[in-house]
Amino acid sequence: MKQNYDILVVGGGHAGVEASMIASKAGCRVGVVSMDKQSIGRMSCNPAIGGVAKGQIVREIDILGGLMGRIADVSGLQFKVLNKSKGRSVWSPRAQIDKRKYEKKISENILSNKNIEFIKGEVVSLKIKNGSIRGVVLRSGEQIRSKTVVITCGTFLSGVIHIGDRKILAGRMGEAPSVGLTEFLVDIGFKTIRLKTGTPPRALKSSIDWEKTNKDFGDVVPTPFSLFTQNFNPKNEPCHTVRTNLDTHSIIAKNAGLSPMYNGEIKGVGPRYCPSIEDKIKRFEHQPSHLLFLEPEWFNSDQIYINGFSTSLPEQIQVESLKQIPAFKKIEFLRPGYAIEYDCISPSQLKATLESKQILGLFFAGQINGTSGYEEAAAQGLIAGINSARAALGLEQTTIKRSEGYIGVLIDDLITKDTEEPYRMFTSRAEYRMMLRYSNTETRLFKKSQNNNLLNKQEVAVIERRLKDRNLIKTKTTNSITTKHLKTFQIKQPMPIKDYIKRPEANLKNVLEKTSNLPQGYKSKKWSFLEALDDIETEIKYEGYIKRHLQEIKKQEDNENLKIDKNTNYSLFSGLSKEAIEKLNFVKPETFGQAGRISGVSPSDISTLMIYLLKK
């Protein structure tokens, strides 16, 4: 065996990048073994980061010391907070990204890091001794020793691309698949599943009639992802929109049989919430058109990503159906849309730390755990990186609770619900979403970050300043609207500002300004101060909901703290349903709380389990 790393990260995608960067910050010696040096941090699909619930995840990654938000801020082409017209729990930052710049910056960060070594190679098996990981074996036969290993193979395991009846063995377009690792994992007892995802065609910019599209800009006052971004003054490049029509749909419907999705060629399960165009037309038959976004892949790009038109139909049918849209009469492709099938592991075989329950020191993160999306992958990479580093250093591992962040919801859902289709994060998956706002990550996760040493001194100072600003604003809201301002606010008697703000129409900034309570110097802080004002206004307006959430969380805490022995044999329990015995024996929940969230485990099974645990 050659070399000796603290952490060996298999894969240089979004999960691998976060895992290796955060482990390097802990002072660990990190090896990143990946199949292609040029593809570090590659955005395989859409040129965008963030979006509903995903934007919140990027903020959480940021405060936990991750890279995604920081690099997105310097590579963004337009920034927008989505859902501003809806409830505050679903406001979510999103940015259109210059893919080339993003990949270049990520790659520079990895390759210039003195604690990280890049190794080109394909991992085909693992070295395991006495139930603990020892290292990996490359296709070349070379063996690399490491205290811990994080596997982040994305869509590469036995990957097959489908375009009509064409099949290409690939991890994504232009890159070879990873062959053999699935079989090795199955041989040592891992359960795997086959999933599928898809991507739309890329069109030549000059072949589109831009006059027949609608422009869509970002926010005038842009919000960055990273709390550490200074002097934020990004580009505001437009995207464009068009709509499909009945002629487009008719061609797709007529040729649906040529789509491997429909003729049985694809066996893997696709993402329900990110459907292909053939899927949308079938499922929403009554809908006369679907919105498509035309997104530049980089600044001044000649390549346009047709968001909303993911497909695996034959290329000719893709072209013909798009030509029915006035702006696309002369459309030319640089690359057709395609679907890809790949292997994943059943994520319930992992602990909340993302370490395997069977093999000590072996972690899994990213799309290989059944998720879809850059943000979900990066978040898992970060947690696996933090914990593999802590394991290598002999420190206690850490987890994020559902009530602390979307990352907690993501991992808990994966390990208890055992996804059978690509898992994508939504705000509706978080029961405490009113508390999990993109604008309050510092109040939720700063302590965790500090406890695990994830931020440097300057970063800690930034967050402390933000918290100080928040406290100052909060103090000001305890001041009263005095008799002097009764008329301005159309009230009959003085009242604390925080009580007045509960009125739906009341705006905190406006009230503080008019009552001379707005702290001095706020203007120089621009977005961060405005964000704090908005967030505190939310806390005040939704105080009732938040209080109820807090009570609920407290109630759940006992369940979460009640540990279950990993060697528990549920087959010996009388009173549990057959399904519950099967699921509990497979998942082996770490806590009573996790047991209650496993699908197929009913409330009566939970009572039986509780009686047993109480007896113990």
Strand partners, 289: none
Residue 314 within binding range of ligand FAD, rule CB under 6 A: no
Phi-psi region of 31 (alpha: psi -120 to 50; beta: other; left: phi over 0): beta
What binding mask, one character per residue, do residues 160-189 give for ligand FAD by CB under 6 A, x or -?
-----------xx-----x--x--------
Residue 606 Cβ vs ligand FAD, minimum distance, rounded to whole Å: 33
Residue 12 within binding range of ligand FAD, rule CB under 6 A: yes
Residue 96 within binding range of ligand FAD, rule CB under 6 A: no
Residue 309 within binding range of ligand FAD, rule CB under 6 A: no
* Beta-sheet strand order (sheet of 92-97): 48-50, 92-97, 76-82
372 to 401, contacts with ligand FAD by CB under 6 A?
Answer: 372-374, 377
Residue 24 within binding range of ligand FAD, rule CB under 6 A: no
Residue 23 within binding range of ligand FAD, rule CB under 6 A: no
Interface pick for ligand FAD out of 20, 39, 301, 416 (rule CB under 6 A): 39
* Beta-sheet strand order (sheet of 338-345): 166-169, 160-163, 338-345, 192-199
CB 238 within 8 A of CB 80: no
Tokens of 550: 């807090």
The structure tokens 């069109």 sit at 203
Parallel/antiparallel/unpaired status of strands 214-216 and 239-243:
antiparallel
If residue 527 lies in a helix (H) or strand (E), which one and from where to where? helix 526-541
Stretch that binds ligand FAD, among 29-37, 205-213, 258-266, 391-399 (CB under 6 A): 29-37
> How many Cβ atoms from other residues are within 10 Å of residue 216's Cβ?
15
Residue 109 within binding range of ligand FAD, rule CB under 6 A: no
CB 425 within 8 A of CB 44: no
Residue 148 Cβ vs ligand FAD, minimum distance, rounded to whole Å: 16
Interface pick for ligand FAD out of 78, 89, 152, 226 (rule CB under 6 A): 152
Residue 197 within binding range of ligand FAD, rule CB under 6 A: yes
Stretch that binds ligand FAD, among 106-114, 371-379, 404-412, 498-506 (CB under 6 A): 371-379
Residue 156 within binding range of ligand FAD, rule CB under 6 A: yes
The residue among 413 and 560 lying less far from ligand FAD, judged by its C-beta, is 413
Nearest alpha-carbon partner for 264 in 372, 162, 158: 162
Residue 539: CA atoms inside 13 Å, Cβ hemisphere, count? 18
Residue 276 within binding range of ligand FAD, rule CB under 6 A: no
Phi-psi region of 342 (alpha: psi -120 to 50; beta: other; left: phi over 0): beta
Interface pick for ligand FAD out of 155, 301, 318, 515 (rule CB under 6 A): 155
54 to 93, contacts with ligand FAD by CB under 6 A?
Answer: none
Count, in order, helices (H) and strands (E) of the chain: 19, 22
The 3-class SS string of 56-72 reads HHHHHHHHCCCCHHHHH
How many residues of this chain bind ligand FAD (CB under 6 A)?
37
Q: Which residues bind ligand FAD (CB under 6 A)?
A: 10-16, 33-36, 39, 44-46, 122-123, 152-156, 171-172, 178, 181, 197-199, 274, 340, 366-367, 372-374, 377
